[in-house]
Structure 1
């Protein structure tokens, strides 16, 4: 089942979804992802996002979710990464 535009939220207590930065495990975990038209995403995370720079590759993977793209901006105050999405897929 492919992912359509919308919002997915994750419970940090029951589902810890890791985020990879430039193919290395980062120190942040996924809290929420919103997919927007034109292949953009808003990724709300828990943890320090200061290592994430514009142009960096981001990969998010779990048993249910696969997202791959590049950082196009960030909001450090709200722990949000803005991404271009190259691949987005939900497993049903």
Structure 2
């Protein structure tokens, strides 16, 4: 299977949608799968998978930070509107 086929498979495979407040659960699941296959991988391939998990973590962290900032701005706007 090539990269595009893996990508299409990841996008099209049904999977539970994690709660936005517990998105880190996805990373825990990923780490559990890595634990199961780590002994079958060489150090370089394992390092690449760990690095992809790190990139995924950072992307999720940025998205969560943006979501929290939007909620805070919305709350501040509501508070300001009530004071008028």
Greater Rg, structure 1 or structure 2? 2
TM-score (norm 1): 0.22
Higher strand proportion (structure 1 or 2): 1
Query: So what's the TM-score if we normalise by structure 2?
Result: 0.23
* Higher-helix-fraction structure: 2
